[in-house]
Amino acid sequence: MKCILGILCLLAWRAATAAPATDTDYISTDEFAKCSTEDDHVGDCIKDIINGLIPRLQNGNPKLKIPPYEPFLLNRTSFRYESGAVKGRISVRNVKIYGFGLYRAKEVSLKIKGDKIKLRLVGEMPKMNILGNYKADMQVNQLQLKPKGDFNVTLFDVEITTGTEGEIYRKDGKRFVRLDEIDSTPKIGDLTIKANGIFPDPELDQIALNVANQYWRDIYGIILPETRQYWQPLILRMLNESLQQIPIDQFLKE
């Protein structure tokens, strides 16, 4: 059960996928005010742009080959997990994630020195729902388990604090940002898990789910650091794919 929750935590922090833009087509922020890096309130200015773009793009943009992200679809992914007496691999398929359209930035701080940039972002979502199919090959002490079935996890009051560093580069006569490092810390207010196929007996399934839902905070505290090596690079890649489509000159004044 810990491993099932682990991959779900991994999926919860994914950002929407965006295909690289052409040389001339980029996401436009012309309707927003430009932010001055000399202004003490530059973070609030950028926050307004983020909160304006997210609902506008939730249905995708065919011209820029951006797929819809409400829901966000994930065909397949997998990861290995090992902690104490539990180890093995779990994969998920046909995953749908609902909630990204309700994401809102709460706090943004930005520092630019030459071509180097530092960004800290605190964002929140009131609710996130993740559902799909899973299959695992796990070993618990000497017990070998191969569960598979459906899962449905709901996270409430999701808050993500992300600190990142990167550099500014030029392409097509425009300035863009490429991030090199990321440190993201998610917090959730509550979580409910539904799943089947954990054990051959449905009654044992329900017992396992009752325990997981009762002690989810303890499980989450173990899972989060164990899975960080999987979802942090994923966030970094997704952010960089999105940033390729937004020239910073559209919203930042030097």
Give 29-85 pLDDT, tens digit per residue: 677 778 888 888 888 888 888 888 888 777 777 776 677 778 888 788 777 777 777
Per-residue confidence (pLDDT) for residue 29, from 0 to 100 = 67
Domain that holds residue 193: 2-253
160 neighbors 151 (Cβ within 8 angstroms): no
Per-residue confidence (pLDDT) for residue 3, from 0 to 100 = 38
Query: Is it true that the peptide bond before 68 is cis, omega within 30 degrees of 0?
Result: no
pTM of this structure: 0.76
| Total domains in the fold of the chain | 1
165 neighbors 201 (Cβ within 8 angstroms): no
| Helices (H) then strands (E): counts for the chain | 4, 10
132 neighbors 94 (Cβ within 8 angstroms): yes
CA–CA separation, 228 and 1 (whole Å)? 18
Strand partners, 83: 86
Q: Which residues of the chain have pLDDT under 70?
A: 1-25, 27-29, 64-65, 254
CB atoms under 10 Å from CB of 47, counted, come to 21
CB-based contacts of 250: which residues, under 8 Å, 6+ apart?
A: 26, 28, 29, 30, 34
Distance of CA 247 to the CA centre of its chain: 22
Strand segments, DSSP code E, in the chain are: 35-36, 72-83, 86-98, 104-113, 116-140, 143-145, 148-171, 174-187, 190-195, 252-253
160 neighbors 128 (Cβ within 8 angstroms): no
Can you give the CATH number for the domain in which 172 is found? Answer: 3.15.10.30
Per-residue confidence (pLDDT) for residue 21, from 0 to 100 = 43
